[in-house]
Structure 1
Amino acid sequence: MNENYKNKYLNLAQELHQLLIEKYKLNQNSFSKDNLSVNAFNLKRKNLASYDRINKILNVSRTMSNYIISENEYEELEDLHHRIKRSNNGESELEEVFSKLSIQSKDAIINENDFDEFKEYMHIYRPIEERFIDRLFEHLIPKKKSVLFLVGNVGDGKSHLLSRFSKKYKNEFVNNRIIIHNDATETDSPQKTSIQTLLDLLEEFSDDKLYEQTEKRLIIAINLGVLTNLVSHMKVTQKFNQLVEYIEATNITSNYEKKNIHHPVFDLISFREDSNFEYTDDNLNSQFYAEALQKVFSVSKENPFYVAYSNDYQNGIETILHYNYQFMLRKDIQRAIVYLLIRAEVEYKAIISTRDLFNLFYEICHPRDDRSSYDSYLPFLLFDNASKSSLLYIMNLFDPAKSQTRKIDEIAIQLYHATDTYSEVLKLLGSERDKFRIIFESFKSQEDRFDDFFNTLLRIKYLINHQDTLFNNNVFDDYLDVYHNIKKNRNYRELLLLIIRSMGSWYGESPVEKHVVRETSNNNVKLLLEITLKPKQPYTQGGAVLFPFVIGNKETILEIDFQVYKVLRKVVTVKYKWTETLNKNGHFR
């Protein structure tokens, strides 16, 4: 603290007072802390400034009464004065362009005949594009009659892909009279369901007409659930046996590994064949998620979001959206977001589409209002905003504030016994203190809000270094090692040993090899059961491992996802019986 800042602070506060009167044409009044507060409330009443800026002006009024004013407090006032002075009171460009990310925006749903410059910029490369182009020129166009199924989940980019390539190869689509059908949006009659429309559309591909010399080239973009429903309806009609046989042979509607089946008329490609993440040399990455982040949060003149942010900054327009956007420009925070998205996909089987990603970016940057409170900023919007979307519900499950480690307990004790919680939090943030100070300002003088201080601190620490030993992600990291060994090295020994050991722990260890002891309803009687499992090479699907076993003369598949793996680990390490959870999360198929 330095008492000499008192006079400098009061002089600058007086300049701020006069600046507000002149800039916003407020009623002239003499300078005092009370009149400065009056000016702030007039700005609020006339809706001339953001809540954040009004709150800062009121904070200046309160600070004027302090006997000692610190250098930090003076610098905060200096920054506020500078920003108001250069503000032009215009509309925020960032606010306007950022709204396009919301799932409620008209730009969130892309019609195949609508692909403008902004949507071209927002395009994210997916490996399926190469397969689509290959099928387009090698299968669809050369053949007089052909159908291509483009299979995926809701919102994963089927319409976007069709929109892009029907524009890029417009002549080829027009000259070959290629028909595009989107099952989610199209029906040729209000009295028909989408399934009925599909059956009519596929009439030329029924068994009786399949090899007739009529010309028809068709692309059907279809969700996996709708395709399963379509197959069921085709079986009932008994008219599409060859098409049903082809679709089922690809394994697209089953849990088995997808097969590429050659057929003279039918073809199928799927988003399910691609993984959104890669795990190499102990590094977890996602080109898909990283590129999506770069589209919005990159320091580039080609990025319309950053250009809007820069223009707003030059014009003195600054809201909490701008602060959150600035946080998201950081590479360390972007890496944490990628890590969290991959965890959501692996641990909870989240299906994360491009549309979901952009909506998430909107939700974690755009507060419900412009109130300058800790719950308006990125750490809260990401980790404590579960009701906003299914993806944010999962993010809440990963909230660092829910972590329990010895190091976290030590920080909690240190913070709890601090004489000045606000100063201690800034001290714990070290060199990052000035970048995140604003988040704590709304409650910095309220020592009773210990949970807010502590939870916000943990969330910030996680975002700037999600691999910090402060947080325990050991089980997830171990699962990734097992997953990687099977996907890349085809080495399943570790997982097989875990399965065998868990069976012994679950039912009871046996002195006889390849046997387990099983209890009966009569506690005095136990059975010695022989277990004969013949493993086959497991494979990965999405974020799970599918492990085939031959039991007797029958092959069955055990699906082991992260949740099952976690239970197996518990069974082996603490002999913990959790039958209900295992039955719920994993089973033989």
Structure 2
Amino acid sequence: MGNCRLVDELNRLRKSSSDSIDGIGAFDDFKKYMHVSRSAEEDLIEILHKIEASGRKSLVLLCGSAGDGKSHLLSYLKNNLRLLDNYVIYNDATESSAPSKTAIETLNESLQGFSDENLERPGENFILAINLGVLSNFVESTYGDSFKQLHKYVINSNILTNQLNEKGYEENSAFQHASFSDYHMYNLTARGVKPEYLEHILEKVFQMDLDNPFYNVYNNNCKECPLSEKCPVKHNFEFLANEKNRNYVANALVEVTIKDKEILTTREILNYIYDIIVAQNFNYKKMAQSLTNEVSFLKEYISDITPSLMYEYTDKSVLLNQLQKYDPLLVRSEQADEDAISYYVSSDVSKEVVSVIDKEAYSKVLCQSSAIEKINSDKVLKAQLFNVLERLKKIKGDIIQDNAYTSFLSTLYYFNTGTTKKYGDFYGLVEEAVIQWCGNEDRDNVCFDDCHEGIALYEHIEFEPYLDIPSNVKKDEELQRFLPFITVKYENKKTGEIIPLDIDYSLYELIYKLAAGYIQTAEDRNNHADFISFIYKILRTGSADKEVSLVTDDNRKAIIEKTKFGVYKFKVVR
């Protein structure tokens, strides 16, 4: 046996695999098996049925990002459900029909039946899979002058914005759309995220079911392999066959999308799954040769198991690079330090190893007495294994999620459901953060000018929250469509100006830390110009036009007050 059948089968998940390229001509058994229904698909099917009932010529836009599954969905609807028999299908609006033409020129020609001039004339239904960037370029181009009605529809439907679109099918319109961008890769609840779609994809690959082509190879071929009991790929497959371990991976991917605004696509997710099962340098013959030296084998094995592959490999994919920032090893705590000291000073780490790994697939290698003996005596091997143990603790739920992240998720849910009693506490955090950023002389006296040597000027701020809960907010226990940021608003009572601030996770984390006493850095100031602008506007609501406190470096204080007669009084307080 010179290669690994399981690795060959898993290769179908990679971006470089022919299986990752979807056309609309065929929908084979593998694609049928891997198909996972999504909310955008449900929206589109509903629209297609209503178009059929209306009898009106329609242009349907299927919007999203590259690799999110538009082509796959069109193929599914065409070949499996036979819903596109009466449609002209334009599958890739990024491609040109001729070398001399741009993609926009080709699109202009293809959509002539839906130009303003031809919109009311009879014609065929048309479905267009298009990336949002291409759609924006087209309606804003010179060709867009002939498609003003389409442009108007795109704007009114909020297709190109981050605002929620709840319209669905529009009666008496020649234009309809469904968008993958209307939905996230996870649902939102009061208890955090629920990454159903990601979990379903992972389940497709790892479920112990004979309908699963990956499991079939694992079940039929791995048992015949003489190296199967030592194989990291087989053990990774078994590790992720555990639903709890898969859920950790799904939630880790969600964390990257929330914290780093990483756009996840189905193609990227499948490629990532491959990357955390099969090491980049995995080679069947090399593994067989390494078995002659147990220490060398163990070092290679530990490097090739999923807890290592998730966090130790760089420049394989954007996702792997992003996830490295959230390696459990980077989370410092008193308990983590104690665990590390205890582990490294111990001459026998068998108890630690067995307590964490015993019920995992990796125990077949790492919990054997000969392996433990080598781990105890080899410093490099011992250090490698410590990293795996700490990551496994996080995967098994023994390490608590960071507070800022969990707080953001609950606040995001309450904001999107308009539950003011629940997210009102966050306004207090924002106010504390503003005070901490500016500096204060007492609770309500906030510094608005410290540019003068030896003197700082303070004003009284009364924060005035402005609440305007939209009438269409949903009180669902589980949200599928929602804004990925929180908006707070304050009112300037002097001018009536409303001062809004959109808060994504990055800014939320800063606000959370500031409220706890954190002092901002130059990097914070460079990264959060929106927060600085918000603070300047809040400072204009203060008492500086009527009363100012002046405090010197040696803590002397005076108050400058403007009287009703327009003159100023100067009073030394201390």
TM-score (norm 1): 0.76
The separation in 1 between residues aligned to 2:483 and 2:6, in whole angstroms, is 36
* Equivalent-residue separation in structure 2 for 1:114 and 1:310 (angstroms): 28
| Local SS of the residue matching 1:581 | helix
Q: Does 1:518 align with 2:448?
A: yes
1:458 aligns with 2:390: yes
**1:541-580 matches, cutoff 5 A:** 541=482, 543-547=484-488, 557-578=500-521, 580=523
Report the 3-state secondary structure (helix = DSSP H, G, I; strand = E; otherwise coil) of the residue aligned with 1:103: coil
Taking structure 1 as reference, are residues 158 and 555 closer, same or farther at Cα in structure 2, changes over 3 Å only?
farther
| 1:16 aligned partner | none
Confirm or deny that 1:507 pairs with 2:438.
yes
Matched-pair contact (CA < 8 Å) for 1:153–1:224: yes
Alignment partners' CA distance in 1, 2:92 and 2:64: 11
Whether 1:173 aligns to 2:84 is yes
What is the rounded CA distance, in whole Å, between the counterparts of 2:415 and 2:219 in structure 1?
46
In structure 2, distance between residues paired with 1:192 and 1:140: 34
1:224 CA displacement: 1.6
CA deviation string 1:304-325 (max 9, x = no partner): 1111101123323523311211
Q: Structure 2 vs 1, CA of residues 216 and 560 (structure 1 numbering), >3 Å: closer, same or farther?
A: same
Match of 1:481, SS state, is: helix
SS at match of 2:276: helix
Match of 1:159 among 66, 71, 74: 71
Partner residue in 2 for 1:197: 106
* Structure 1 residue 188, shift from structure 2 partner: 1.7
C-alpha separation between the residues in 1 aligned to 2:458 and 2:338?
Answer: 49
AA matched with 2:394? Y
CA contact under 8 A between 1:400 and 1:471: conserved in structure 2?
no
3-state DSSP of counterpart to 2:129: strand
More helix, by proportion? 1
Cα distance between partner residues in 1 of 2:311 and 2:424: 37
Residue pairs, 1:389-538, within 5 angstroms: 389-421=317-349, 423=350, 425-429=352-356, 431-432=358-359, 435-436=362-363, 438=365, 441=371, 444=375, 445-463=377-395, 465=396, 467-468=397-398, 470-488=399-417, 490-491=419-420, 492-509=423-440, 516-523=446-453, 524=455, 526=457, 528=459, 534-537=466-469
8 A Cα contact 1:537 1:548, kept in partner = no
Deviation of the 1:270 alpha carbon? 1.1
Pick the aligned partner of 2:261 from 327, 349, 354.
349
- Structure 1 contact 149–268 (Cα < 8 Å) conserved: yes
Aligned twin of 2:527: 584
Distance 2:78 2:92 in 1: 17
Match of 1:122 among 20, 25, 34: 34
Separation in 2 of the partners of 1:462 and 1:415? Answer: 17
- Range that drifts further, 479-488 or 155-164: 479-488
Residue 430 of structure 1 deviates from its aligned partner by 6.6
- Map of 1:180-259 to 2, 5 A cutoff? 180-184=89-93, 186-211=95-120, 213-234=121-142, 237-258=144-165
Q: Alpha carbons of 1:185 and 1:575: their partners in 2 closer, same or farther (altered >3 Å)?
A: closer
TM-score, normalised to structure 2, is 0.78
1:303 paired with 2:216, answer no
Deviation at 1:296, TM superposition (A): 0.6
2:61/2:127 contact within 8 Å kept: yes
Gaps of 5+ in 2: 288-296, 474-480, 535-574
Are the aligned partners of 1:145 and 1:216 in contact in 2 as well (CA < 8 Å)?
A: yes
Post-superposition CA distance 1:540-559 (Å, at most 9, x none): 84533244666656667532
Q: Which amino acid in the other structure matches residue 194 of structure 1?
A: A
Letter in 2 for 1:543: P
Aligned to 2:179: 270
Output the amino acid matched with 2:393: K
Say if 1:426 and 1:437, in contact at 8 Å, map to a contact too. Answer: no
Once the two structures are TM-superposed, the CA of residue 237 in structure 1 deviates from its matched residue by 4.8
- CA distance in structure 2 between the partners assigned to 1:210 and 1:202 by the alignment: 10
1:380 aligns with 2:380: no
Kept in 2: contact 1:535–1:550 (CA 8 A): no
Contact 1:382 1:396 in 2 (8 A): yes
Q: Which runs of no fewer than 5 residues in structure 1 stay unpaired? A: 1-88
In the alignment, the residues of structure 2 paired with residue 542 and residue 105 of structure 1 have an alpha-carbon distance, to the nearest angstrom, of: 34
CA distance in 1 between counterparts of 2:435 and 2:410 reads: 23
Change (3 A) 1:585 1:387: farther
Which has the larger displacement, 200-209 or 515-524?
515-524
| Aligned-pair CA distance for 1:140 | 6.1
Deviation at 1:350, TM superposition (A): 1.7
Q: Tell me, in whole angstroms, the C-alpha distance in 1 between the residues paired with 2:363 and 2:331.
A: 21
Deviations 1:415-445 (A, max 9, x none): 1111134x35424437447843625849624
SS in 2 for 1:267: strand
CA 1:472 to 1:116, structure 2 compared with 1: closer, same or farther past 3 Å? closer
Cα distance 1:209–1:472, how it changes in 2: closer, same or farther (>3 A)? closer
Deviations 1:470-497 (A, max 9, x none): 4552221111111122234533312222
Paired-residue identity, %: 26
Classify 1:185/1:517 alpha carbon distance in 2 versus 1 (closer, same or farther; 3 Å).
closer
Classify the secondary structure of the residue corresponding to 1:162.
Answer: helix
CA drift of 1:532 comes to 5.7
